[in-house]
Structure 1
Amino acid sequence: MLQTSIDGVPVFCADGPPPFTAGLVFGVGRRDETFLRGGITHLVEHLAMRAVGRTAIETNASVDLLSTEFTATGPADKVGAFLTAVCAALVDLPVEFLAVEADVVRTEAGQVTSPPVGALLGDLYGARGPGLAGTMDPAVHSIPPDEVRDWARTWFCRQNAALWFSGPDLRGLRLPLRDGVVPERAPQPRPLVRTPAWTTHLTGDHVVLAAALPAGYAAAATVGILRDRVEEELRHRRGVSYAVLADRVLVGPEERLVVLDADARAGQEAVVAGVLWREVQRLAEEGPAGPELEHQRAFVEASLADPRSGVDEARSFAIAQVTGVRVPSSAQLRSDAAALTHEEVRGTATRLRDAAVLTMPLGTDPVPPGLQRLPEWSAGVVAGREFRPRRRIGYPRQTRLVVGAAGASLIRGPEERITVHWGELAGMVRTGPEEEVLVGQDGFSLVVAAAEWRDGDEALALVRAAVPEELRIVGDDARVDRAVLLLRAPAHRVRESVGVSRRRATMVANGEWTALAGEEDLPPEAQARVVAEGAGGRPAVLVLRQGHADLQYVLLRGGREIDRHVWGGTSGDPALLAEATGRPEAELAPVLSADGSPAEVLARFGAVLALPAEVPDLLAGRAVATAEEVVGQGFVAGLRATVRGDYAPPPGEGSWVDRWLHVSRRRPRWYRALNAVEAVAFAVLAWLLVRAAEGDLVSWRGGLGLLAGLVALACLYDTRPPRPATDVEETRTGTPPSG
């Protein structure tokens, strides 16, 4: 193997059979991220590959626990061109495509290890370091472009890169990476649980045994011997398993997670688990037989004789260069295999036994003896305010939620409790408008949903107040696409509808349409129902969305969806849209079938419907100088504002009812005089009716007399002088306040 450098990047090359293959490795992976920023390395990798574009050779990129790698296979000049393009892309990532690639990352739902191994790492390390392999990326859409650029600047520099390749020298290759410093990795966390232990999983019919062991050939030989023994027993003698796999997962510079993974025929899970655990114990107690050691040595010799072994060695050295992982050379591996002893394997098997975690499918029975169960519940609870569940939820009667100064606890019984401490919080993920998930560094998580608890909104407010902003994030599943609500309703009616709610919105209007951009944590359809109910006349509502790739609308009437259209996708009914908007169907049909970018289609759609000109800016989240910010005051305060006329239209606008209400608030002289006359008339009528009833107020004449008296008092009340104009009225009418 030859070692050199190109543009300051260490290079490891070895002769190997064709085709020519190369890989550019960076020392950053899932364990270097945080829980809240899970997937940021994957985003960098996707953006770089997007910038490179299609190639005529086989290329790939991947992220694992410790490293990120870009590989290519083909003619040397084309491989070199690909590597140069990758480096250039990493220096100037096309973050304008971040939203698209975030969708791709979510769709891919890739993991850096197999699901059972990821779950085991989560059990061992919690929501940190290698344990992040067991968590899904909670919010890749919430990672801003600047953070993605900073991540690439920190980790994807020449000081954190290495190159490996096979075959001839890559003459003329350039690696135009940015300069940086060797990044500092967080210290390797220690396992959080006591072992040996067992747990269950929901990831299929596999039984997995794993343990964190120091690096070295002894661990590889020990797990190899165990694999052979278990496969012989489960497949060749019992026939209850098809494949037994052995693996060593890099979790740190000096540590491997050795893994034995066996599938199990339905109903035979307990047999497979028993054999796995028995063979580990037997090897720890008795050590290997002589032929088993010789077989492992022969396996090493056969591997090193493979023509591809030199390239594998070059790749291993490149990974070791950027991760700090200790990798033996071919000569050292041959020497270690030759020197391996019975006692060395027995001692390694003992360490494996003592550090083992056995993971079985849920419901496996019986559990092998000699193992303790991994903790299912937290060790303690916090003190604080207690909340009881709503009866309809179905929690056990003794269940309660406690939120205090130290953290939050869910208590279901004397032993069943989950606690997350504020000082040991990995993050808080919003999963709904009134729901948060607290994730502790130990891996325990607690859902706080306002709807599940009495005074649940107060519990949620306490939780949100306790968690600092930097530990909060909106989960991808809770993200609400930015949308604009379009109502064919007067602006003052929409303003009043928002005013009596607890929401806030940005509003523009053009006389026919009123457009609202509401809060991002409430689904637009739910927002539309709230606004339309108070806007009067049950107006039709369009929920208009513009994504990075498409434009769509949802047509609602009475809060219920009646149609949906996605340009380039789902086709809506132009007749329904024509009925709701008052436009001819013949004008709408061509627009619904229009091609073009979302912005171009939106321009045509807005022109046909005569929408407010500010709608594209509202959809894009841009500031609109002419927009009005409407803040809901709640039902009681909003109702008072309605009575005061805070939401009334300007004089001369609105329905006849609105105009009359405007006059009643201004109370000009003629209005007060008219009410004085009406007060006298109704007072006389009341006196005559009560007199005719001869004092019997429960008779029909007496009842009408009382009613006429009340009307007289109301008319008399309206003879008082007008009150000074409020700031709201001054804004609506353009007149200065009196007095």
Structure 2
Amino acid sequence: MHRSHVDGVPVLRLSEPGPIHASLRFGIGARDETYRTLGISQLVATLAAHATRHQIPEPAEPVVSTSLEETRFAVSGTHQEVSDCLEALCVALSDLPVGHLSEVAHTLDGEVASSLDLRTAGALNAWYGTQATGLEGHERSGHYLPTPDMLLEHAAAWFTKANAVLTLTGPNPADLRLPLPPGDRPRRTAPQARQPRATWTHRNIDGVALSVEMPVGSAAATVAHRILRERVTTAVTGQPLRKAPAEAAAVLHDSVTVVRLLLTSTPASDAERVAATMWSEAMSLATNEPAPAEVARHSAPPEEAVEKLRTLDDAARAELFGTPFLDEGSRRRALECVTPRDVRDSWQRAMEQAQLVVPQGLLLHLTGPDGRRLWCTSCWTWDEIPPWGQVFRQPLAKHVFRRTTDRHWLILTGKSVVSCTPSAYHELRFDDVIALERWGPERNLIGRCGCNVGVDPALYRGGQGLIRALDDAVPAELAFDGAELAPPAQP
């Protein structure tokens, strides 16, 4: 791998014959956004790509992709095509064409917050709530177009040479220029997990997910994750369940920690048994050393071509996020040195804060790593009296004709709003509200916990007074009007 700099931007290149494949990467993704601005990085990137396509030949046009951590522009072609495209792209990022905001926004309508599958997004939302890495897992009632000033401010803060790296495979492109604007190195605060110990909870997902935090680059953690994936797949598919094999994912938490996830796609009727199986296998790996042959099988490095691309990717992430970097040889040797005890000890530490996520409606009875009943962190409380406060019930006519299971009411306290049903309630404290959407007369409170409380004043006696009280309780800077995208102008 060759390392160099162009106009202050790190360039990492693998020498390969044929055309050039380049990826201009920025350390900005959904985890650096807010509920109000979710999708803004994708919109900035798409605006820049839109401007670039009007300045360069079609074969070298940039392809935009976004994730939790990064925004990338992929370009392929000849030396000159790639060089011209990258230079035009950097110029567009320096002078963002916000005049095309409405036009470009319509091309993305429905695509915002879609870089993760629903199970991964839901599991991360359960882990972190509606912040940082957990943002994409929050169910949204609409997408909100940022203002031109918001876009320009975001681009100036994140799409700079101090937050960029270029990766290349192929020959070195001639006369390469990367005239990105200057900027400061971003300072990130890692999100904190919502609970300090092993837990289980609910999310609106079509399966089961297990999440743990482990060290970045740990060979033992990698082997443990692979072993557990195989064990869960074998255990679940060996039962009479309609189940696909378990899937694995890893999401960066900070420069030294990664969240590893194990995921299954499971029908609701099978979710309880699959959850119990996954938890049992995870507890077993944390308690007993795996067989040496099992460790050896999962310590094998990938194919050489895959390993080279991973090395390039790891080097880019090290530049952007300060994560540890191991070259191919060092990573292979680290895997070869992993012992069964290393695997068990690594997973045992991870299980101390593990979180199991299951679909809504399940009640689990599992034992945690400390030998006590596994703690449930669902936001809903069962079989307890809700907090005292002003009660807002449905109009009498609606109340009489509703089934008991459909009845609900709200309680307004001095510090919270409480959504109640005959068997459970959910309390959302005002100091945990991160946004208040106004949809005409209706309100939607967005909680840091990952839940919403929607309020239609027509559904409650005294509903207008309830709306006024909510508007007064939430700081004005957190409130905004929800709005659908206006239809594009006709030529």
Q: Same fold (TM over 0.5)?
A: yes
Show the counterpart of 1:549. Answer: 489
Q: Deviations over 1:483-528 (max 9, x none)?
A: xxxxxxxxxxxxxxxxxxxxxxxxxxxxxxxxxxxxxxxxxxxxxx
3-state SS of paired residue (1:90): helix
3-state SS of paired residue (2:262): strand
> Is the 2:276–2:366 Cα contact (8 Å) retained in structure 1?
yes
> Is the 2:30–2:68 Cα contact (8 Å) retained in structure 1?
yes
What does 1:150-169 correspond to in 2, within 5 Å?
150-169=153-172
- Counterpart check, 1:428 vs 2:433: no
Match among 103, 128, 132 for residue 129 of structure 1: 132
Q: Distance in 1 between matches of 2:18 and 2:288?
A: 45
Between 1 and 2, higher relative CO (CA 8 Å, sep ≥ 6) is seen in 2
**Superposition deviation, residue 81 in structure 1:** 2.1
3-state SS of paired residue (2:110): helix
- Counterpart check, 1:449 vs 2:452: no
- Counterpart check, 1:231 vs 2:233: yes
| Count of residues in correspondence between the two structures | 476
* Counterparts in 2 of 1:449 and 1:124: CA distance versus 1, 3 Å: same
Q: Deviations over 1:339-385 (max 9, x none)?
A: 22222211122133332222334456876555333323279977764
Show the counterpart of 1:467. Answer: 474
> Is the 2:432–2:448 Cα contact (8 Å) retained in structure 1?
yes
Q: Deviations over 1:268-290 (max 9, x none)?
A: 44443333222111111112210
**Superposition deviation, residue 130 in structure 1:** 1.2
* Counterparts in 2 of 1:392 and 1:291: CA distance versus 1, 3 Å: farther
Show the counterpart of 2:83. Answer: 80
Show the counterpart of 2:100. Answer: 97
**Superposition deviation, residue 440 in structure 1:** 2.2
2:155 maps to a residue whose letter is A
> Is the 2:33–2:40 Cα contact (8 Å) retained in structure 1?
yes
Identify the range of structure 1 (405-414 vs 242-251) with the bigger mean alpha-carbon deviation. Answer: 405-414
1:167 maps to a residue whose letter is G
Q: Deviations over 1:169-222 (max 9, x none)?
A: 12211111111111222x212111354333344433x33222222322222111
Show the counterpart of 1:282. Answer: 284
3-state SS of paired residue (1:409): strand
> Is the 2:25–2:71 Cα contact (8 Å) retained in structure 1?
yes
3-state SS of paired residue (1:277): helix
What does 1:150-229 correspond to in 2, within 5 Å?
150-185=153-188, 187-193=189-195, 195-204=197-206, 206-215=207-216, 216-229=218-231
Q: Distance in 2 between matches of 1:454 and 1:202?
A: 30
- Counterpart check, 1:376 vs 2:384: no
Show the counterpart of 1:40. Answer: 40
1:434 maps to a residue whose letter is P
Q: Distance in 1 between matches of 2:261 and 2:17?
A: 31
* Counterparts in 2 of 1:19 and 1:238: CA distance versus 1, 3 Å: farther
Q: Distance in 2 between matches of 1:275 and 1:384?
A: 42
3-state SS of paired residue (2:92): helix
* Counterparts in 2 of 1:18 and 1:306: CA distance versus 1, 3 Å: farther
Show the counterpart of 2:392. Answer: 387
* Counterparts in 2 of 1:411 and 1:454: CA distance versus 1, 3 Å: same
* Counterparts in 2 of 1:241 and 1:158: CA distance versus 1, 3 Å: same
Q: Distance in 2 between matches of 1:326 and 1:179?
A: 25
Show the counterpart of 1:318. Answer: 316
> Is the 1:380–1:417 Cα contact (8 Å) retained in structure 2?
no
Q: Deviations over 1:61-107 (max 9, x none)?
A: 11111111111233233222222222111111121121232233332
Q: Distance in 1 between matches of 2:456 and 2:43?
A: 31
Q: Distance in 2 between matches of 1:380 and 1:142?
A: 41
Show the counterpart of 1:406. Answer: 415
3-state SS of paired residue (2:464): helix
Q: Distance in 1 between matches of 2:25 and 2:221?
A: 25
* Counterparts in 2 of 1:261 and 1:387: CA distance versus 1, 3 Å: closer
Q: Distance in 1 between matches of 2:97 and 2:386?
A: 47
Per the normalisation by structure 1, the TM-score is 0.60
1:438 maps to a residue whose letter is L
> Is the 1:251–1:257 Cα contact (8 Å) retained in structure 2?
yes
* Counterparts in 2 of 1:412 and 1:151: CA distance versus 1, 3 Å: same
**Superposition deviation, residue 18 in structure 1:** 4.6
- Counterpart check, 1:145 vs 2:153: no
* Counterparts in 2 of 1:321 and 1:383: CA distance versus 1, 3 Å: farther
**Superposition deviation, residue 393 in structure 1:** 4.6
* Counterparts in 2 of 1:126 and 1:410: CA distance versus 1, 3 Å: same
* Counterparts in 2 of 1:52 and 1:58: CA distance versus 1, 3 Å: closer
What does 1:531-610 correspond to in 2, within 5 Å?
547-550=487-490, 597=491
Show the counterpart of 1:241. Answer: 243
Match among 337, 341, 353 for residue 351 of structure 2: 353
* Counterparts in 2 of 1:331 and 1:405: CA distance versus 1, 3 Å: same
3-state SS of paired residue (2:214): strand
Match among 415, 428, 431 for residue 419 of structure 1: 428
Match among 107, 110, 134 for residue 110 of structure 2: 107
Q: Distance in 1 between matches of 2:362 and 2:408?
A: 28
Q: Distance in 1 between matches of 2:258 and 2:17?
A: 30
> Is the 1:381–1:419 Cα contact (8 Å) retained in structure 2?
no
> Is the 1:201–1:362 Cα contact (8 Å) retained in structure 2?
yes
Identify the range of structure 1 (320-329 vs 453-462) with the bigger mean alpha-carbon deviation. Answer: 320-329
Q: Distance in 1 between matches of 2:239 and 2:156?
A: 55
> Is the 1:62–1:70 Cα contact (8 Å) retained in structure 2?
yes
> Is the 1:138–1:476 Cα contact (8 Å) retained in structure 2?
no
Q: Distance in 1 between matches of 2:437 and 2:398?
A: 22
Unaligned runs of 5+ in 2: 369-373
**Superposition deviation, residue 413 in structure 1:** 5.5
**Superposition deviation, residue 400 in structure 1:** 4.6
Per the normalisation by structure 2, the TM-score is 0.88
- Counterpart check, 1:330 vs 2:328: yes
Unaligned runs of 5+ in 1: 482-546, 551-596, 598-739
* Counterparts in 2 of 1:219 and 1:68: CA distance versus 1, 3 Å: same
* Counterparts in 2 of 1:447 and 1:265: CA distance versus 1, 3 Å: closer
Q: Distance in 1 between matches of 2:389 and 2:284?
A: 50
* Counterparts in 2 of 1:384 and 1:123: CA distance versus 1, 3 Å: same
2:211 maps to a residue whose letter is A
Show the counterpart of 1:253. Answer: 255
> Is the 2:53–2:62 Cα contact (8 Å) retained in structure 1?
no
Q: Deviations over 1:141-193 (max 9, x none)?
A: 441111101100110011111111112212211111111111222x2121113
**Superposition deviation, residue 109 in structure 1:** 4.1
Show the counterpart of 1:295. Answer: 297
Show the counterpart of 1:70. Answer: 73
Which one has the bigger helix percentage? 1
Show the counterpart of 2:6. Answer: 6
Q: Deviations over 1:646-682 (max 9, x none)?
A: xxxxxxxxxxxxxxxxxxxxxxxxxxxxxxxxxxxxx
Q: Distance in 1 between matches of 2:9 and 2:113?
A: 29
Q: Deviations over 1:448-485 (max 9, x none)?
A: 221122221111112112333321122245x7x5xxxx
| Larger gyration radius, structure 1 or structure 2 | 1
Show the counterpart of 1:15. Answer: 15
* CA RMSD of superposed structures (Å): 2.9
3-state SS of paired residue (1:297): coil
Q: Distance in 2 between matches of 1:264 and 1:404?
A: 39
Q: Deviations over 1:388-446 (max 9, x none)?
A: 3322454869955344543433344585132232x33211012x311111112222322
